[in-house]
Amino acid sequence: MTPEAFRSEIPEAKLKDLQRRLGEVNWPLDVENEDWGYGTHGAYLRELVDYWRDGFDWRAQEQAMNAYE
């Protein structure tokens, strides 16, 4: 199998849609789950979603990936 070059080019509309959907999450009640026994801890997941929505620089990551030839 021969590797093929590719470029990551995420349309701006897709990123805006993702931001919108991440902002509209209907969070469930956070049960006592400090030990993660019931799955992902709600507060941690909210922080992660906030980062993906507002902190992650999609264009910088895209540029870094596209730097390889």
What pLDDT was estimated at residue 66?
93
Identify whether 52 is part of a domain.
Answer: yes
Identify whether 58 is part of a domain.
Answer: yes
Identify whether 60 is part of a domain.
Answer: yes
Identify whether 36 is part of a domain.
Answer: no
Identify whether 31 is part of a domain.
Answer: no
Whole-number Å distance between alpha carbons of 31 and 25: 17
Alpha carbon 59 to chain centroid, angstroms: 13
- Report the domain count for the chain: 1
- What's the domain range around 13? 9-24+41-69
Whether residue 3 has pLDDT greater than 90: no
Share of the chain above pLDDT 90, in %: 67
Q: What's the predicted TM-score (pTM) here?
A: 0.77
Identify whether 33 is part of a domain.
Answer: no
Report, as an integer, the average pLDDT of 23-48: 88
